Amino acid sequence: MNPETGTMHRCFVTALLGLALTGAAVAQIPETVATSHQADQSGLPKSAHSFTANIGIASQYVFRGLTQTNGKPAVQGGLDYAHASGFYLGTWLSNSSWFTDQNAGIASAPVSLSSPGRAGAPYVTNRSNRANLEWDFYGGYKHTFATDWSYDVGLFEVYYPGVYDNLGPYRQPNTTEAYAQLGYRWLSFKYSKAISTHFFGINESKGTSYADLSAVFPIQDTGFKLLAHVGRQIYPGNPNTGYWGASGGDNSFFTYSDVRLGLTFERWGCTFGAAWTYADSRRAAPDGETTAYLNAFGKNIGRSRVAILVTRNF
């Protein structure tokens, strides 16, 4: 076993043991969650051209406080290019099930959007949807200035390859955002705004925004870092009557806030993490039947979660 293979072996054996222990330890917690997404682009490369790669495993993939895999593990990986001038490009992938896990019926008669034949109009009998992979593309420019200050601007595309034959009131989930981030030492504020026609499959959702205040605080030379985050996802209050009907809801019912507290530790070239997240996502519209964040398995994909994550950078 060469040193690099041995390092990978230690990382992922530890990760698998951690996943098993997490499952036992949180038996009283409905779902587990990990927080992982595109790599932080705040650092500048030391050479003119820099390539890095990452691979990871999580007890669950969560994005902005919402589970993307309905409590199940995720395997993830990405590749990044950065130039010393500050320009960067990257791509990242993860298994994902949130779109076809959605409730295509009503709260009292749930049916997955992956096979919504029983849900009736506006769905088409014997037609289905399939979206099991998230594939991200991003690029931008980052720069440091003054003392300990930085900024980062760019575009972020979330692509879901799949089959979309039976969308009903939904739209394809592919989403494009523009973002800008301002950082000072270990604190950063990031603002993202949807520029695609639809935002994660919601009709009449162009212009949806997300504000993110985050801190990554290193604990001296221990290898540990404390993570803290608060975010706000805001949907324009458009009527979207094809979805909400007479339920008393509109797209503002998709608006929510999320928080995250976590701890990471670096060893063997890997980063191990544990995090608690909470999102105050609504279960349903005022009628109690037209669902907002309640999926076909009867779970609100936000709310409170705890989980672990391990990643390896190359």
**pLDDT > 90 fraction of the chain, expressed in percent and rounded:** 77
Q: Is the Cβ–Cβ distance between 20 and 12 less than 8 Å?
A: no
Annotated domain spans of the chain: 3-313
Model confidence at 115, in pLDDT bands (50, 70, 90)?
confident
Q: Is the pLDDT of residue 14 over 60?
A: no
Model confidence at 96, in pLDDT bands (50, 70, 90)?
very high
What pLDDT sits at residue 2?
Answer: 53
Q: What digits encode the pLDDT tens for the residues 230-288?
A: 999 999 999 999 999 999 999 999 999 999 999 999 988 899 999 999 999 999 999 99
Distance CA 245, CA 236 (A): 17
What pLDDT sits at residue 221?
Answer: 86
How confident is the model over 22-50, as a mean pLDDT?
A: 47
Higher pLDDT, 222 or 294: 294
How much is the mean pLDDT over the chain? 88
Q: Is the pLDDT of residue 20 over 50?
A: no
What pLDDT sits at residue 45?
Answer: 54
What pLDDT sits at residue 4?
Answer: 53
Distance CA 82, CA 262 (A): 27
**CATH architecture for the domain at 3-313:** Beta Barrel (2.40)
How confident is the model over 140-167, as a mean pLDDT?
A: 96
Report the candidate in 161, 229, 164 with the shortest Cα–Cα distance to residue 190: 229
